[in-house]
Amino acid sequence: MPRILAVWLPNWPIQRLLYDKPALRRRPVILQHRTRRGLCVLACSHAARRQGVQAGLPIAEATAVMLAVDSRAGREALRSAVAGQSAGQPAELHVETHDLRKDQAAIRKLAIWCHRFSPLVGLEESPAPDTLLLNVTGVIPLVGDEGTLLEQVMRSFRQHGLEVRLGVAETVGAAWALAHFQPAGELDANEPCRSETRLRQLPLAALRLPAEMVDILMRLGLCQVGQLLELPRVELESRFGPQLLRRLDQAFGKVAELIQPVQPPLDFMVEWLFEYPMPQRRAVEQVLRRLVEQLCFALADQGRGALRLRGRIRCQDADPVTWEVGLFRPSADQEHLWRLVETHFDRLPLPGPATSVVVRATQHERLRTRQRELFDQQQRNIDSPQIANLIDCLASQLGAAAVVQCLPRHDAQPERAFRNVPLVDAGKGGRKGPVSEVACGPLDRPLQLVHPPLLLDTVSAASDGSPVSFHYLGGRHDVARHWGPERIETGWWRQRGVRRDYYRVETREGRRFWLFYCLQERRWHLHGVFQ
Amino acid sequence: MHPKIRELDTLLRQVERPENGPHRTPVSTGCGPLDVVLPGRGFWRGSLVEWLGNGPGCGVGMLALWAAREACREGGALVVVDPQDHFYPPAAAAGGVDLANTIVVRGARCRQVQEAARQSEWALDQALRCPHVAAVIAWPQRLDSRVFRRWQLAVEASGCLGLLIRSAEAKREASWADVRLLVSPERTIGPAPRAMKWRLQVEVLRCRGGVQQRTVGLEIDERTGDIHATHPGGLAT
């Protein structure tokens, strides 16, 4: 018989906030959210509730309530001080905007943590889940009995400062209902027949029905689940739709309800512990190679490829040696990964005999597989596996910042008209999106940019301001013709604005250069060579 | 002639024939008048081309880049090995190079100049060996003959077109390149012409399989980038 344990975390947004910021535990805390009526209280802590704040109250009212309480407490404190008695200072109200994503992420983490109690853990079906569902069917004999398991779960959550309510039943619906609506004192294990009896006595909201439907049913005089069971099913379905019967059947086990499992993130880590400190580098290298092979096998088994590998070699009486390898695209190819790791290992000095070696895929993705085409010409682009291997190899040896893709930017300042995006930049959203068009003629810009611009010592200029001759690389260049000026005046918002008049010039020898006259400095610079 | 010598001569000619390599398909130089004079009407894939620039501002890099652009037309990535960080991508894009398909290898952070040069040589070697790289452009400074030979074998194996841009001073050095070209700007005599054209001269210093003419005069249109011979038939002065 299946046994499902539901763990409800009442007031989860507040619990999550207090868990993240323990300093707020002694203060009244309000979580606000924006509604059609403006900012309202979504949830509040016990301390705030004691002062009269409720969920749904407009924030202005809630703050006013708390201010009134504060002033009253302040007066009492003052009176106590005058009377020579000690009195606690009123705690300051803390108001924060609700973050649903943080709540969701935190409860998912909690679900992963709960794998210590059950191999199958899921969350309730809700956009803002606050209940964990654990399938403990085969687990109970391992810990003794159901009561022991409940005690263990309760104690573990309390150790983390989390308040929970538990419910065990043979269906997800019943367990959920018992966790939410069972009186707090009755946490003992429920026999199947007893849980069904209890379920009949619970209010209609225990069936996980929408609030509007519960409201209608209550106006019809139906308050308990048992009352619904006495009504003809056909009429219930025709009046309230299929949802009501589905929830009812799920609670009583007539319709199966599956727990959508929350899987713990895949952790690809391999480790080797030497029996005694290993002084031979060659032996450490062999171990490292074997670990990389094991890791590749584990990755390939899950259809994953490593994007970033991190390794650590612990040495006797010395700090551990670490290295990291980034990849352009996910790979589980043993030879390729070993080549990259070997490049780093060759450069690593081992300060002492090695005691352990750990290799971990800190970032991994699903392996991309593509069917081969008859003519592989179309696959010979930057995304092909061979190019990916080349990029990995280059980045591993030269550094990730040295292997880049240059993307044009819409910036008038020439040196800012592109950006270098490292190709091996996993996790930072490196090479993405199409490359924007460049709006200039084939000979408008030089292929070789001189950066920073080279200050030209001697330039003679004509009356219209165009250059006539200049000195560069020890020689005099007489300008035969020029194109310009092209005024570039930009960057004032960067605090270092530029005001330049650019000229493309062709010398008497037919050489082409890109010069500019800086209007701020009143000097000539060479910025490019048409090489 | 002695039959043995004749046989040896035949064998040598067979080896010298450019179409003997495994990847020997021609690719346009991106410059029509130059295609006309080269055997196979362009460069051969799987070959090294050495572009020697006669001084600064002579347009040698631009011609090499256009050749690379043509090599990438049928697929394959372009790798630019630029240890000195001089390569200006917007100019390449304006010349028709697809930057989305271009990998730029910038200068590695090395303390020693020799180490940086060695790293660049290694990067170039790796790129030339990759079968899915259509063309590689690099600006090597000094070249060891063994390194040069290794690159030649690498391109032969991969079918990549290696474009090495060097100074005209390298003319005296031994070369393993299949084609060696010297690019010079054409001198303006008298008043500057009004036409929006840039005139360059390309001298074929070496070419496996021989050439019809040794010098080609080029005229590049400012607006369109079209290249024409300065004299009909590609003959220069």
Query: Can you spell out the DSSP letters for A201-238?
Result: HSBGGGG---HHHHHHHHHTT--BHHHHHTS-HHHHHH
**What is the predicted pLDDT for the residue at B237?**
38
pLDDT over 60 at A240, yes or no: yes
Is there a contact between B47 and B26 (Cβ–Cβ < 8 Å)? no
For residue A443, which residues of chain B lie inside 8 Å, CB to CB? 62, 198, 220, 222, 225
Under DSSP, the state recorded for B160 is -
Question: Which A residues, 476 through 495, put their C-beta within 8 Å of a C-beta on chain B?
Answer: 480-481
Q: Averaged over A302-324, what is the pLDDT? A: 90
Residue of chain A nearest B96, judged by CA positions: A442
pLDDT over 50 at B213, yes or no: yes
- For chains A and B, CB pairs below 8 A equal 201
Closest-CA residue of chain B to A415: B88
A419: pLDDT confidence band, cut at 50, 70 and 90?
confident
Instruction: Give A467's contacts in chain B (Cβ within 8 Å).
Output: none
Task: Determine contact: A157 vs chain B, CB below 8 A.
Answer: no
Let me know: does B219 contact B198? Beta carbons within 8 Å: yes
Segment A39-56 shows an average pLDDT of 86
CA-CA distance, A524 to A303, in Å (whole number)? 59
Measured CA to CA, the distance from residue A38 to residue A32 in angstroms comes to 10
Q: Do the chains contact at B108 and A398, CB–CB below 8 Å? A: yes
CATH fold group of domain B21-231:
Rossmann fold (3.40.50)
Q: Is the pLDDT of residue B191 over 70?
A: no
Q: What proportion of chain A, given as a percentage, has pLDDT over 90?
A: 22
Nearest to A530 among B59, B119, B192 (CB): B59
Residues B129-149 have pLDDT tens digits of 998 899 999 998 888 888 889
A56 vs B165, higher pLDDT: B165
Locate the chain A residue with the closest alpha carbon to B88.
Answer: A447
Between residues B61 and A191, the one the model is more confident about: B61
- The minimum CA-CA distance between B172 and chain A, rounded to whole Å, is 21
Distance to chain A for B213, nearest Cα, Å: 23
Indicate the pLDDT class of residue A437, thresholds 50, 70 and 90. Answer: low
Could you tell me the pLDDT band of residue B30, with boundaries at 50, 70 and 90? Answer: confident
Q: Closest Cα of chain A to B94: distance in Å?
A: 5
* Residues in A touching B27 (Cβ below 8 Å): none
With CB atoms and an 8 Å threshold, state whether A530 touches B99. Answer: no
Does the pLDDT of residue A212 top 70, yes or no?
yes
B74 touches chain A (CB under 8 A): yes
Binary contact (A447, B65; C-beta < 8 A): yes
pLDDT band at residue A87 under the 50/70/90 scheme:
very low
Q: Which residues of B touch A445 (CB under 8 A)?
A: 88, 90-91, 94
B90 with A442: Cβ contact below 8 A: no
Give the nearest partner residue to A408 out of B58, B89, B126, using CB atoms. B89
Average pLDDT over residues A443-447: 86
A5 touches chain B (CB under 8 A): no
Average of per-residue pLDDT across A402-421:
86
Q: CB contact, 8 Å: A441 with chain B? A: yes
Q: What is the DSSP string of A252-302?
A: TTSS-----B-PPPP-EEEEEEEEEEE--HHHHHHHHHHHHHHHHHHHHHT
| Out of A403, A417, A509, closest to residue B105 by CB | A403
d(C-alpha B44, C-alpha B24), whole Å: 6
CA end-to-end span of chain B, whole Å? 39
Residue of B nearest to A480 (CA): B192
**pLDDT score at A373:** 59
Contacts 24+ apart (CB under 8 A), A276-279: A277/A315, A277/A316, A277/A352, A277/A353, A277/A354, A277/A355, A278/A353, A278/A354, A278/A355, A279/A352, A279/A353
Residue A232 scores a pLDDT above 50: yes
pLDDT, residue A426, reads 47
pTM of the full structure:
0.67
- Among B59, B104, B185, the residue with its CB nearest the CB of A404 is B104
- Least confident range from A265-279, A287-301, A486-500, B94-108: namely A486-500
CB A199 within 8 Å of CB A175? no
Can you read off the two tokens belonging to residue A497?
A: 């604005």
Q: What whole-number distance in Å separates Cα of residue A2 and Cα of residue A253?
A: 10
pLDDT confidence bin for A328, thresholds 50/70/90? confident
Q: Which of A328, A382, A431, A478 to mutate to test the interface with B (most CBs of B within 10 A)?
A: A382
Q: A6 pLDDT exceeds 90?
A: yes
> Does A379 sit within 8 Å of B58, measured CB to CB?
no
Chain B residues with CB under 8 Å of A441 CB are 94, 222-223, 225
Mean pLDDT along residues A243-250: 89
Q: How confident is the model at residue A157 (pLDDT cuts 50, 70, 90)?
A: very high
Q: What is the pLDDT of residue A290?
A: 94
Which of A489-493, B8-12, B37-41 shows the lowest mean pLDDT across its residues?
Answer: B8-12
Q: What is the mean pLDDT of chain A?
A: 84
- One-letter amino acid for residue A474 of the chain: G
Nearest CA in chain B to A376: B75
Q: Does B195 touch chain A (CB under 8 A)?
A: no
**pLDDT over 70 at A194, yes or no:** no
Answer with the residue of higher pLDDT: A325 or A265. A325
Which domains can be identified in chain A, with CATH numbers? 4-168 (3.40.1170.60), 272-370+380-395 (3.30.1490.100), 448-529 (no CATH)
**Does position A357 have pLDDT exceeding 90, yes or no?**
yes
> From the centroid of its chain, how far is CA B102?
17
The answer on pLDDT for A295 being more than 50 is yes
Q: Does the pLDDT value for residue B15 go beyond 50?
A: yes
Nearest to A441 among B94, B165, B192 (CB): B94
Cβ neighbors of A437 (< 8 A, separation 6 or more) are A408, B93
Task: Look at residue A443 and tell me whether its pLDDT is greater than 70.
Answer: yes
pLDDT of residue B236: 39
The owner of tokens 């800086």 is A518
Predicted confidence (pLDDT) per residue in A125-149, tens digit: 888 899 999 999 888 888 888 888 9
Question: Is B233 at the interface with chain A, CB within 8 A?
Answer: no
For an interface test with A, which of B27, B52, B103, B158 has the most A Cβ atoms less than 10 Å from its Cβ? B103
Q: What is the pLDDT of residue B233?
A: 43
CA B105 from centroid of its chain's CA atoms: 18
A390-407 mean pLDDT: 87
User: Closest-CA residue in chain A for B82?
Assistant: A402
In the predicted model, what is the mean pLDDT of residues B94-113? 80
Is the CB of residue A528 less than 8 Å away from at least one CB of chain B?
Answer: yes
**What span, in angstroms and rounded, lies between the C-alpha atoms of B118 and B126?**
12
A334 touches chain B (CB under 8 A): no
- Measured in degrees and rounded to the nearest 5, phi and psi for residue A331 equal -145, 145
Q: Judge: A506–B192 Cβ closer than 8 Å, yes or no.
A: yes
Q: Is B94 an 8 Å CB contact of chain A?
A: yes
Residue-averaged pLDDT of chain B: 83
For residue A14, the model assigns a pLDDT of: 92
Asked whether the predicted pLDDT for residue A378 surpasses 80, the reply is no
Q: How many residues does chain A have?
A: 531
Min Cα distance B166 → chain A (Å) is 11
Q: Examine the pLDDT at A379 and tell me if it is beyond 70.
A: no
Question: B57, B40, B98, B50: which is closest to B74 by C-alpha?
Answer: B98
> Which chain A residues are Cβ-neighbours of B86 within 8 angstroms?
448-451, 531
Helix (H, G, I), strand (E, B) or coil at B169: helix
Cβ separation of A401 and B109 shorter than 8 Å? yes
- For A17, A105, A112, A258, B140, the CA distances from A261, given in Å and listed in that order, are 25, 15, 10, 9, 58
